[in-house]
Amino acid sequence: MLVENDPRVVDIVLAMLSDKHGLKGEETVLIDGEEEISVRVAISRNIDICGVLKKRVLLGLSQYTGDEKEENALRLLSSKTKVGEELYKTFVEKQCLNLGDILVLFPSCAPGLDALLSLFSSIAPRYYSVTSSPLNKTNSLKIAFSVVNYVTDNGNGNGNGNGGGGGADLELRKGGLCTSYMEGLCSPLLVGGGDTSYEPTLRIFPKPSTHFRLPANSKYPLVLIGPGSGVAPFMGFLEHRKLTKINSVEEAGRSCEGSWRGGFEFGEGEVGVGIGDANDYQSVQVTGAVELFYGCRREDHDWLYKSKMKELDFHGDISGLHVSFSREKGKEKEYVQDRMKIVDDGAKDGGIGESRLGKLIEEENAYVYICGDGSKMVHDVLDQLANILGNGDKKKGEEKCVFLKERSRLVVDIWSL
């Protein structure tokens, strides 16, 4: 997905270009010999001005600062001295300062458009998993995202919005570039009662996954583990499997239909192939079990696809729906790896039996998919999986995990916030 910079930051930069260089946002420029675009579009789409500023950029900005004290301060922040390193970490990194912040804090800093285009890199594309199947005939493509919104650390460990410094400490509310952009586009739709003709657009490009995909044959069971928005690709998996099954019934129905080659006519309705014939065919087709593990903080707050999951579970498209909550009031914290253990040993899940997941993976050749934030979750899940496969012998279980990875039966797709 290709996104644009925060309009508030763009406006700050455009105001500086107008005041200091007489360059208006509506004026057109030619960049890299391509089609002419407006200055506003160039600032909005061509350079990443919302990311945390690197030291080399701070050093570059210092060259366009008219005040000596401000120039020295920017040079110090970009230096490799001990003081400079500490100030950069506290003042820039912890505050997540971007170009707009610097232009406000250092009002004499006034780089021209050419300088901005050379100092700042392009906005990196953001990748999101598609949550719908290509067999879906609604001409829609769905994604899921969690809005990143937080208060920066003010240097005293108070990154929680509580102040903590009597108003003297710098404390800023920040949002993720891409998720904030998409939230802004969706806001009129979420409010309701707005203009029904409103049709926001996103610039996207397809990037097929080379490894995170369903097995070719639906007979293989699936173990899907995806806390938070990590469940997004699995909703696409499940929809695709369901539509594949429906399509196979329809195809069976069509293949059962023939042309009568006899020498006499049948009356209307005397010969026909109905959906029952197709279902007879489908009944001999094997579809593997699906165990879905999902985790979020609270059931009534951030359970993504709650109604859809329950619908799939009710209709048998999911063999086991296992949801854990880490911040549910009055209950102990539970994460997906905890739920995996409960389900596997059957202690709290209706007496299912010993090593349910282990047997599914080793005896029925199930495929295991893990998707989500890789900062900690994936390590805990893999540890639990190793314990399950090793039946308590973690080292043996880790060797089995390596075996599964080599055969693309254990597939991991993670990111770090």
- What is the DSSP annotation of 55-103? HHHHHHHHTTBSSHHHHHHHHHHHS-SHHHHHHIIIIIITTT--HHHHH
**DSSP one-letter code for 52:** P
SS3 210: coil
Fold (CATH) for 222-255+274-415: Rossmann fold (3.40.50)
pLDDT of residue 157: 54
Q: Give the pLDDT confidence of 77-124 residue by residue, as tens digits.
A: 999 999 999 999 999 999 999 999 999 999 999 999 999 999 999 998
pLDDT of residue 249: 52
pLDDT of residue 193: 61
The Cα 72–Cα 197 span in angstroms is 52
- Amino acid at residue number 230: G
All CATH 3.40.50.80 domain ranges of the chain, comma separated, are: 222-255+274-415
Counting as low any pLDDT under 70, the low residues of the chain are: 154-171, 192-195, 247-285, 346-354, 416-417
CATH number assigned to the domain with residue range 7-119, chosen from the 4 options 1.20.990.10, 2.30.30.30, 3.30.390.50, 3.40.630.10 = 1.20.990.10
In DSSP terms, 325 is beta-bridged to: 296
pLDDT of residue 374: 74
The rounded Cα 8 to chain-centroid distance in angstroms is 24
The Cα 52–Cα 350 span in angstroms is 50
Query: Residue 388 in contact with residue 357, Cβ under 8 Å?
Result: yes
How many other C-beta atoms lie within 10 A of the C-beta of residue 318?
A: 23
Phi-psi region of 174 (alpha: psi -120 to 50; beta: other; left: phi over 0): beta
| Two tokens, residue 37 | 């675009």
Query: Residue 144 in contact with residue 294, Cβ under 8 Å?
Result: no
Q: Which of 142, 226, 211 is nearest to 411 (CA)?
A: 211
In DSSP terms, 225 is beta-bridged to: 293, 370
pLDDT of residue 211: 83
The Cα 257–Cα 385 span in angstroms is 48
pLDDT of residue 305: 94
Q: Give the pLDDT confidence of 205-250 residue by residue, as tens digits.
A: 888 887 888 998 999 999 999 999 999 999 999 999 988 877 655 5
| Two tokens, residue 4 | 């644009």
All CATH 1.20.990.10 domain ranges of the chain, comma separated, are: 7-119
Residues in the chain, how many?
417
